[in-house]
Every structure is written in C-alpha cells, then in structure tokens.
C-alpha cells in the first residue's frame, strides 16, 4: 500500500493518521519546531499533492488531499487532560489508500514511518486485525486501536478479546491520591507543633499561609460536585472520608460498589466533564485556569457568526461567453468562451489543487462560486480579472480590468459567561485574563447570531485538586510562592539589621580601643607624676633630717 521502505505509522479504519499536533492552523514545520521543514510532492492513490511543511498547516494539508478523488482527509480533535491534540486522518473510499513520499513529508507528519538503511535484519511493524479491520503499528504495545484499551501483541495467533472495566485500577488510583494527600497533611501537622520545653516552634508554626493551605486542601475533597447533577455528589458517597486527624480514609468496598452501580457518576465525581445545551456548540478544550461553571453553566452569546470568504460571479445562464483570465491569490487561470459553468468550476478546482490553494469552486444556480476552505479572517480571496465588471465576463474581479477584488471571511465573535473572547474562525476562545472562563475554547457552527444556551464545565475532586495545587505553587503568583517570598524578604530584612548591629558594634569597639589607649596614656602620665611627687617627698624628708 506504500513504498517498500516506509509503512503506515498510525493505521485507522480504511486509512492512516498523523502524529498529534498542538495546532492545526499554524505551519506544521513551525509547530514541530523545525528549522528546515521538508517540502515535496506526495502521492495519494497515485495522485500528486504538493506539500510544504514550512508554509502549510495541518488544515491546509487536509484540504489539499481532500480535493482528490477517492479519498477524504480531515483534521480530528482529540481533547485530553485539558489539552487539545490535532491529527490528520486520510481515509480511502475503497479501503486504505496507497501513499508514497519522496521528500519525507509524510514521514515528518507521522503518517508514514521510514525504514532503516542497510538493515541486516529489517524491523517490521506489527500487523493485525480487529473485527476484520486490518491495522499496523510500529510497536507491539497498541493503545490507539480501541479507546482506553492498551493491547500487548504477544504471538501470531487469533484471539478473542473480551473488554471489561477494571475497577481495581480505579481503586488503586484513588488510594494513591489518598496516600499523597495524607503525606502532605502529615508534613504540615508535624511542622506546626510548638515545643513548650525547648520553647521552639516547628518550621510552619504560626504561618497563616500554611494553615490556609491545609484548610483549602480539605475543601477540595469535601466540597459538593453537583455541576452535572446525578446522585453521586460527595466523596463520602464512594467511601472517601476524613478521620479525627484530618487524614483521608478510603473504604475500597464502597468505591467498588459505586463503580459497579454508577461508573459515570464516579467519573463526574473525580474528573472533568463538559456539556453544551446547544448542538451547534462544542467544547473543544479547557485549561486549569477554567473554573467549574456550576450547575447554571456559562451562557454563550454570539454577536457575529464565522463565515468563509466567498466570491460569487455574475449570473451566467449560458456559461462562459468571453475569454477571461482570472488571477486568484496570485495564480492565473484562463476561462475559455463556450465553457459550461461546471467545466469552469472543474478547471478552477484543478488550479486550486495543483497550487495547494485552500479554496474550492462550485456552481450555484447560474453562477460560479469560489469559497475559501478556512473560516474567518484567515480565509481571504483576492481576484483580478482581465475584463471590466459588466463587460460580459464573470464579474469576479474589480470594477476595472486589473483591479483587485478582495473577499474575506469573518471570525466568530461573542462572549462566554459575559466575559470577553477572541474569535479564530469558528473557534470562540475565552481570553486568558477572564476570571472564570480563561482557556475555554468552543467550536460554534451556527448561521445566525444570538443566545446559544449554556456550556457547563464540571471539575471533580481530582481535577480541582490539580487546579488548586497548580495555583498555589505558581512560580509568579502562587500563595506558597508569595509566602516564601515574604519569608525571604523578612530574612533579608533581619540580615540587614544584623549587618547594621555588627557595624555599630565594630564602631563601638573602635571607640573603646581609642578610649583605652587614651586611658593608658593618662595612667602612664599619672604614674610618672606620682613617682616625681614621691621623689620630692623623699628629698624633703632627707633635708629635714640633715638640718636636725
């Protein structure tokens, strides 16, 4: 299905998928961080497609391949843990398409995996089928064939696979959470004591930030989780409680019973779940900065719908009646008199495919219509005609021959929870500065502005604990960071006071040394005077004795 030295890296039903990308609208080479992104012509079912990873985004590549006959290409979104990954999927109409790659383009995208030159014993991909669907993988550990299931391929033999839930793994995960929580609480408690005999306090004694931290940790576990409703709303309902020392205690039997009776409820209780009340709104991604919406949800208001740049010709019931050269986004094509509108649309589509132009042409009634593939401002069409408008041509250019006519799409605009958002095509992205919805990204597919109900974001125990820990340990504005900075500032102030006292002591010692030297001088002078006086007294006594 492809050249001998390459194989499909991520096989899917009737096709192949790329590696995961963090962005679908930025040039693929830039997303991958490549200083010299490859470019070349790849073949899909024998048809050529020119791809330049330095300029083409994942969406551009999908659009170019999708224009080919017998194959479809889309970019799929895979949200996970608050992050969004995009994959290119290429699917054949009649089974897995043939793929070849002369410039390492598909290899770089992760659609194909390249073999090793001069192999003594060539490595082989694992080949297998699931329910009759053939697949290949580069490893015997397969985690993307069946959702949430990892397969370990051990031998070349048929096997019947029965998939059941593994509640013991869930219990083990919660036990790990409990152990980590209790370790933190134990550390805090051990360092808050005050030794009355030694009259010394622990490392955290008298620190409000630490007292608040312990209280907030307890609140993440004990608070109600009722954004999505359901019967399970408290940790205690699945056997997770606290003892007299504020340590968590898990009753594994209660948790197993909850997993058996209401697995979706347990998922809501611990994880992150989203929903939208309007089918035209889909939650694409969120971040740790996105707050739980509560049961009321976040209202979605659309003030401007996203559109695609669309250029429509004059009414041409008789088809193309005059020779006309159109220059579309810098590429020229000539429509010949006598062409039907469908022939003209086919010719335009051939140009768009060959030149990797993200747009398509079609016949709408008695007119030609050119539509940009991208939604919003990113989709733009510039058209120059060799004929004046109204001269009998398509009327797709400017008023005069040689003038540019520009059409451009518009991004969706609106608010989520009344907070400001930025539109990018049909994606409505909450601004990072928003108090509640920061990082929330919605796909909006409506045709008219208005109120689109609400979206709800429910963050369960584990999710909000992760958000809380991330917030308090934030390197720039976390509560613990501020507390540590405050202690550091106090230490610096005390160090400065110590330095000032030491300097004052040095000055006092120097003064004492001067005073001591002066005192020694005075004492020496006093001793000399005393000796002189004693000599005088002795001389006087001798004189008086002589006179007698």
3-state secondary structure at position 103 = coil
**Within a domain: 527:** no
pLDDT at 340: 94
One domain for residues 34 and 107: yes
Q: Are 211 and 286 in contact (CB under 8 A)?
A: no
Q: Give the model's pLDDT for residue 51.
A: 92
In a domain, residue 104? The reply is: yes
Long-range contacts of range 212-219, CB-CB < 8 Å, 24 or more positions apart? 212/479, 213/188, 213/472, 213/479, 213/480, 214/185, 214/188, 214/189, 214/246, 216/468, 216/472, 217/181, 217/184, 217/185, 217/465, 217/468, 218/242, 218/246
Residue 483 makes CB contacts below 8 A (sequence gap 6+) with: 207, 209, 210
37/88 same-domain check: yes
- What CATH number is associated with residue 354? 2.60.40
Average model confidence (pLDDT) across the chain? 86
Residue of 204 and 242 predicted with greater confidence: 242
Q: Do 60 and 201 share a domain, yes or no?
A: no
- Asked whether residue 543 is assigned to any structural domain, the reply reads no
Residue 477, domain member (yes or no): no
In this model, does residue 170 exceed pLDDT 50?
yes
- For the whole model, what pTM was predicted? 0.60
What's residue 116's pLDDT? 52
The average pLDDT across 513-534 equals: 87
Q: Within a domain: residue 139? A: no
Q: Report the pLDDT value the prediction gives residue 4, as an integer from 0 to 100.
A: 46
pLDDT of residue 118: 47
Same domain flag for 463 and 382: no
Q: How many CA atoms lie within 13 A of 332 on its CB side?
A: 6
The pLDDT score that the predictor gives to residue 546 is 63
* Predicted confidence (pLDDT) at residue 202 exceeds the cutoff of 70: no
Per-residue confidence at 371, pLDDT binned at 50, 70, 90? very high
Q: Domain boundary at 472, 491, 518, which?
A: 472
Q: pLDDT of 10-23, one tens digit each?
A: 888 888 999 989 88
Within a domain: 363 = yes
Q: Which has more pLDDT, 331 or 211?
A: 331
Q: Are residues 87 and 14 in the same domain?
A: yes
147 vs 507: which has the higher pLDDT: 507
Last residue of a domain, one of 123, 156, 176: 123
424 and 300, same structural domain? yes
pLDDT of residue 476: 75
Strands (E) in 147-223, as ranges, are: 149-152, 194-195, 200-201
Assign 3-class secondary structure to 369-392. Answer: EEEEEEEHHHCEEEEEECCCCCCC
511 in a domain, yes or no? no
Verify that 299 and 228 share a domain, yes or no: no
The reply to whether 52 and 198 lie within a common domain is no
State whether 14 and 103 are in the same domain: yes
| Whole-number pLDDT of residue 1 | 43
116 in the same domain as 174 = no
Please say which residue of 472, 491, 522 terminates a domain.
472
Residues 414-454 have pLDDT tens digits of 999 999 999 999 999 999 999 999 999 999 999 999 999 99
User: Both 366 and 235 in a single domain?
Assistant: no
Give me the percent of the chain exceeding a pLDDT of 90: 46
The DSSP bridge pattern shows strands 149-152 and 141-146 to be: antiparallel
**pLDDT, tens digit, 9 for 90 and up, residues 307-326:** 999 999 999 999 999 999 99
151-160 per-position pLDDT tens digit = 878 777 777 7
Place of tokens 């006093």: 526
pLDDT value of position 228? 92
User: Which has the closest alpha carbon to 421: 411, 431, 407, 412?
Assistant: 431
Q: Work out how many domains the chain is built from and give that number.
A: 4
Q: Is 159 helix (H, G, I), strand (E, B) or coil?
A: coil
The answer to whether residue 496 scores a pLDDT higher than 70 is yes
Which residue range forms the structural domain that includes residue 313?
Answer: 308-408
Other beta carbons within 10 angstroms of residue 86's beta carbon come to 20
The answer to whether position 155 is within a domain reads no
Are 17 and 62 part of one and the same domain?
A: yes
């Amino acid at each position: 299905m492809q050249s001998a030295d390459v194989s499909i890296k991520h096989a899917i039903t009737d096709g192949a998928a790329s590696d995961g990308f963090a962005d679908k609208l930025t040039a693929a080479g830039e997303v991958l961080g490549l200083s010299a992104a490859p470019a070349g012509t790849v073949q899909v079912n024998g048809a050529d497609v020119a791809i330049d990873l330095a300029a083409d985004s994942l969406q551009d590549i999908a659009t170019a391949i999708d224009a080919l006959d017998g194959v479809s290409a889309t970019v799929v979104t895979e949200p996970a843990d608050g992050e969004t990954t995009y994959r290119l999927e290429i699917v054949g109409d009649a089974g897995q398409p043939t793929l070849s790659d002369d410039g390492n383009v598909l290899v770089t995208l992760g659609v194909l995996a390249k073999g090793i030159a001069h192999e003594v014993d060539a490595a082989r991909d694992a080949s297998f089928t699931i329910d009759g669907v053939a697949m290949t993988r580069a490893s015997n550990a397969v985690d993307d064939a069946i959702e949430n299931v990892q397969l370990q391929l051990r031998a070349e033999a048929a096997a019947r696979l029965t998939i059941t839930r593994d509640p013991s793994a869930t219990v083990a995960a919660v036990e790990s959470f409990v152990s980590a929580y209790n370790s933190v609480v134990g550390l805090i408690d051990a360092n808050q004591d005050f030794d009355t005999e030694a009259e010394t306090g622990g490392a955290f004694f008298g620190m409000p930030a630490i007292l608040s931290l312990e209280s907030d940790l307890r609140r993440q576990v004990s608070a109600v989780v009722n954004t999505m409703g359901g019967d399970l709303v408290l940790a205690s309902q699945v056997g997770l409680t606290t003892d007299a020392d504020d340590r968590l205690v898990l009753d594994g039997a209660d948790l197993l019973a909850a997993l058996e009776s209401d697995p979706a409820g347990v998922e809501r209780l611990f994880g992150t779940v989203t929903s939208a009340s309007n089918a035209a709104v889909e939650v694409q991604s969120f971040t740790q900065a996105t707050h739980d919406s509560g049961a009321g949800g976040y209202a979605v208001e659309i003030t401007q719908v996203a559109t695609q740049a669309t250029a429509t010709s004059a009414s041409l019931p008789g088809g193309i009646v005059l020779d006309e050269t159109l220059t579309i986004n810098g590429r020229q094509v000539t429509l010949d008199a006598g062409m039907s509108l469908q022939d003209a649309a086919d010719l335009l589509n051939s140009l768009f495919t060959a030149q990797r132009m993200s747009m398509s042409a079609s016949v709408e009634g008695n007119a030609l219509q050119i539509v940009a593939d991208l939604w919003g401002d990113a989709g733009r069409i510039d058209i120059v005609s060799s004929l004046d408008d109204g001269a009998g041509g398509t009327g797709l250019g400017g008023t005069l021959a040689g003038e540019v006519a520009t059409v451009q799409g518009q991004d969706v605009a609106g608010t989520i929870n009344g907070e400001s958002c930025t539109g990018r095509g049909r994606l409505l992205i909450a601004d990072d500065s928003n108090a509640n919805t920061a990082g929330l990204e919605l796909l909006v597919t409506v045709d008219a502005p208005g109120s689109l109900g609400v979206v709800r974001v429910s963050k369960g125990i584990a999710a909000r604990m992760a958000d809380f820990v991330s917030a308090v340990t934030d390197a720039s504005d976390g509560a613990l960071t501020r507390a540590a900075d405050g202690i550091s500032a106090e230490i610096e102030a005390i160090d400065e006071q110590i330095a000032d006292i030491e300097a004052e002591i040095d000055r006092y010692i120097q003064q004492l040394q001067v005073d001591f030297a002066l005192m020694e001088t005075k004492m020496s002078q006093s001793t000399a005077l005393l000796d002189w006086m004693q000599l005088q007294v002795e001389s006087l006594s001798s004189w008086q004795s002589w006179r007698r």
